Copies of this chain bind each other. A is one copy, B any other.
Amino acid sequence: MASINILKFGVSSPSDTSPLEGLKAAGYKSDNILAVIGKSEGNGCVNDFSRTLSSHVWGSQIPESAVTVFSGGTEGVLSPHITFVVRDRSSTGLRAAVGRTRILQPHEIGTSAQALEVCSSIRSMLNESGILREQVRLILIKCPLLTSEKVEMIKATGRTPVTTDTYDSMAKSRYSSALGIGIALDEVEECHLDEALRSQSAWSTKASCSSGAELEDCHILIIASDSFTGNLRAISGHMDDAIDARAITRLLEQVNREGGQVLQVFAKAEADPTGSIRGKRHTMNTDSDIHSTRHARAAVGGLLAGLTGETQLYISGGAEGQGPPGGGPICVAYRAGA
C-alpha cells in the first residue's frame, strides 16, 4: 500500500516526457512514480502507434514496477496529457496499489481465463496493500489485444480465437478485464462468469479498461480513498447513458461542497450498443468512417469538459462491462478545501 498524490501535465506529442520536469518541480522524483496514465492523440484503435510511442519513451524513465496506461484518442476538445500517480510520504487520503497479471497466452485474451487472472491479481493486491474493497474508487487496467499475428498463432495451435477481428478483440479483452474487476469487487458473481461472457451484460462501476497492442499481460492500478487522513479524496459514480450530465454534476457538487479542486477525472465512454440514446437514434455504430469509440470519447469528453472547465481529462473509449451499456464509470479525484 502507498499513500499517493495525483498530478497531471500537458504534453506536446506522444513522445514528450517533459512532464517529468513538472513532477520534479512539485517535489517528486521519478522513483516515486507508481503509474503513468496518458491520453495520447492517436485513434485509440488497432493501428494507433501514438500509444506505443508513449510506452516506448516512458519505459526508460520510470521504475520497472510502475504501471503505464496509455489510452489513445483525444477527440473533440480533449487535450493530450499525462497523469502521474506518485507515492507520497505523508498520508494524503488517497492510496494506490499496482500489479500485473502473468502474461496471457493469445488464446486466453478475451476469455474467462483473462477475467479470472485479473480477479485473482486484484485480490492479492488488496490483501497485500490492506486496501478494503469498499475503499476502492477505480481500477484501471491496460490489457492486450489480438493482433493479426496472434490470431494466426492461435489458429496454428488448432484453437479458435475468441474473434478474428483485431478491433473486436480490443472490446473482448476490455470486457474480460472488467468482469475480473467486477468479481473481485463483488459486483459480479464468479459463478455467473460464463453467462456474463455470453450475454455481454454484466458490469462493474469501478472498472476502466483499455487494450493495446504493446503488452502481453494486464497492468493493474487500484486507486482507493480512505476519507479520514489528508485532504485528497476520490469519489466515483457512473453515467447511465452518454448524456447523463446529472451523474457528473452530482460528483462535482460533492467536490464543491468540500471546497475541493478537481485533480483529475477518469471516465469511460461508449456508443450505446442498441443504436439509440433515450429512444433517439444515434449513428455512432453505423459510421464506417469513424469508429464508434472515437465518437463516444468526443461526445462524453465535450460534456465533461464543459462541466469541469478542463480538457485534460482521462476519457477512454470502449466501456464494455464498465458501467451500464451505453454509459460508463466516472471517478473524480480532488483536493478537499481547508
Using a CB–CB cutoff of 8 Å, the interface residues on chain A facing chain B are: 10, 12-15, 40-43, 45-50, 52-53, 56-57, 74-81, 147-149, 151-152, 164, 166-167, 213, 242-245, 248, 273-278, 280-291, 294-296, 298-303, 305-307, 309-312
Q: Which of B81, B298, B310 contacts A302 (CB 8 A)?
A: B298
The 9 closest A-B pairs by CB, nearest first: A76-B299, A45-B288, A299-B302, A302-B302, A298-B298, A245-B306, A148-B275, A303-B306, A79-B280
CA distance A147 to B274 in the complex (A): 12
Please determine whether A312 and B280 come into contact, CB atoms closer than 8 angstroms.
yes
Given contacts A52-B13, A56-B15, contact A167 B79 (CB under 8 A): no
Please determine whether A147 and B286 come into contact, CB atoms closer than 8 angstroms.
yes
CA distance A322 to B74 in the complex (A): 25
Please determine whether A243 and B41 come into contact, CB atoms closer than 8 angstroms.
no
Chain A binding surface, main DSSP class? loop
Given contacts A53-B49, A302-B300, contact A278 B309 (CB under 8 A): yes
Q: Which of B42, B57, B79, B244 contacts A281 (CB 8 A)?
A: B79
Jot down 9 A-B pairs with beta carbons below 8 A, ordered by A: A13-B49, A43-B289, A46-B286, A79-B276, A166-B286, A243-B302, A245-B307, A298-B302, A303-B306
CA distance A14 to B285 in the complex (A): 16
Q: Which of B57, B78, B244, B295 contacts A56 (CB 8 A)?
A: B57
Please determine whether A299 and B52 come into contact, CB atoms closer than 8 angstroms.
no
Please determine whether B282 and A79 come into contact, CB atoms closer than 8 angstroms.
yes
Chain B residue, CB-CB nearest to A74: B283
Please determine whether B281 and A14 come into contact, CB atoms closer than 8 angstroms.
no
Please determine whether A289 and B289 come into contact, CB atoms closer than 8 angstroms.
yes
Chain B residue, CB-CB nearest to A200: B164
Please determine whether B13 and A213 come into contact, CB atoms closer than 8 angstroms.
yes
CA distance A4 to B162 in the complex (A): 48
User: Residues of B contacting A56 with CB < 8 Å?
Assistant: 15, 53, 56-57
User: Residues of B contacting A242 with CB < 8 Å?
Assistant: 76-77, 302
Please determine whether B47 and A287 come into contact, CB atoms closer than 8 angstroms.
yes
Q: Which of B52, B302, B310 contacts A53 (CB 8 A)?
A: B52
User: Residues of B contacting A301 with CB < 8 Å?
Assistant: 299, 302
CA distance A10 to B279 in the complex (A): 10
Please determine whether A298 and B10 come into contact, CB atoms closer than 8 angstroms.
no
CA distance A310 to B13 in the complex (A): 35
CA distance A72 to B49 in the complex (A): 12
